[in-house]
Amino acid sequence: MIMRHVKWGLTVGLLMLALGFLGSGMTALAKRTDQTVTFGQLTAKNPKRLAAIRQAARQQVLKQAKVKGASKIEAVYQVKLPTHMTKKATLTVAGLQMNLLANRFKVKRITIPYSRLKGKVVNRYLPKANRTKRVKTTKMVALTFDDGPDPKLTPRLLKTLKKYHVHATFFEVGQSVARYPKISRAVLAGGNELGNHSWNHPNFNQIGTAKTVSQVNRTNRAIYQATGTLPQYVRPPYGNITATEGRAIEQPVVRWSVDSRDWAYLNSRKDINEVMKDTHGGDIVLMHDIHPQSVAAVPTIIKRLKAKGYKLVTVSQLLNDHALPGLQYFGAHDYRTTGK
């Protein structure tokens, strides 16, 4: 009996000691993470990084306000978000905590998960799991598809991507998203990315900044209503966008470095030859999922690129999550100010 009491006492003592260490560890963690920082510190005083934080904040406002429809999407762009580097936020266990001024959503405080800030905030302020690391893009290629969703061809393309264990990025037209929301959801469900390609494909350079912003926001609204998430990227129709428009929409612009010219050829063999002739590591390939010839060419393109040792990835993977508003991206290491 004495030995049992001794063992029990030792067990309890060790347990209490362990809990003590755990408690002190948790306290230390809390002290390390509940840290007040300025946006200047978080962004290394880079205004484009701050714009990326605002972009992530809008998504979080909608999530915390539990906005399900599209009626309040326009209002999220009216929420006052930080524009000055001296403003402060708090690093917490759950994410970056920001206080908000009075707004239509009646949300006083948001906490943006660190996963949404990867590549946008200076690495040292992020948990290790959410920090970016250097990636070798010499054997990476991003396939992108414009102008969908198409009710027949996009599902066929999604089956091909799934078959070959490949993910791609789709830049969709808002009016088609509104017509076929189920397909847009299927794009994301397959592990692919979904971007904004305007509402009805006008040339932004010919319609002016106000109408360009309306085109982008209207499509963002349609994509949010269909999927419950705002798209990160915009691809302007014909690749045309001014610097003023780029600043106004506050989303990274994704262009391309390889044009398959599938829209001109409407010939699967020519599509395949064009892509294989021009594609190298780090490239963003432009195709369309509204032409049957283009969709028919994809299996061969995938197999031939893989045979050359290329890994086919999303735009975010190719850019290592570093895409920022105000910049346009042509490839893994080719980016410029939007409109230049």
Residue 266 · residue 340 · CB < 8 Å = no
What is the β-pairing status of strands 284-288 and 258-259? parallel
Radius of gyration of the chain measured on its C-alpha atoms: 24
Residue 333 falls in the annotated catalytic set: no
As a three-state string, the secondary structure of the chain is: CHHHHHHHHHHHHHHHHHHHHHHHHHHHHHHHHCEEEEHHHHHCCCHHHHHHHHHHHHHHHHHHCCCCCCCCHHHHCCCCCCCCCCCEEEECCCCEEEECCCCCCCCCEEEECHHHHCCCCCHHHCCHHHCCCCCCCCCEEEEEEECCCCCCHHHHHHHHHHHCCCCCEEEECHHHHHHCHHHHHHHHHCCCEEEECCCCCCCHHHHCHHHHHHHHHHHHHHHHHHHCCCCCCECCHHHCCCHHHHHHHCCCEECCCEECCHHHHCCHHHHHHHHHHHCCCCEEEEEECCCHHHHHHHHHHHHHHHHCCCEEECHHHHCCCCCCCCEEEEECCEEEECCC
Q: Exactly one of 146, 262, 289, 321 is catalytic; name it.
A: 146
**Sign of the CA dihedral 52, 54, 55, 60?**
positive
Q: Exactly one of 167, 197, 288, 291 is catalytic; name it.
A: 288
Residue 262 falls in the annotated catalytic set: no
End-to-end Cα separation, the chain, in angstroms = 84
* Residues annotated as catalytic (active site), given as ranges: 146, 288
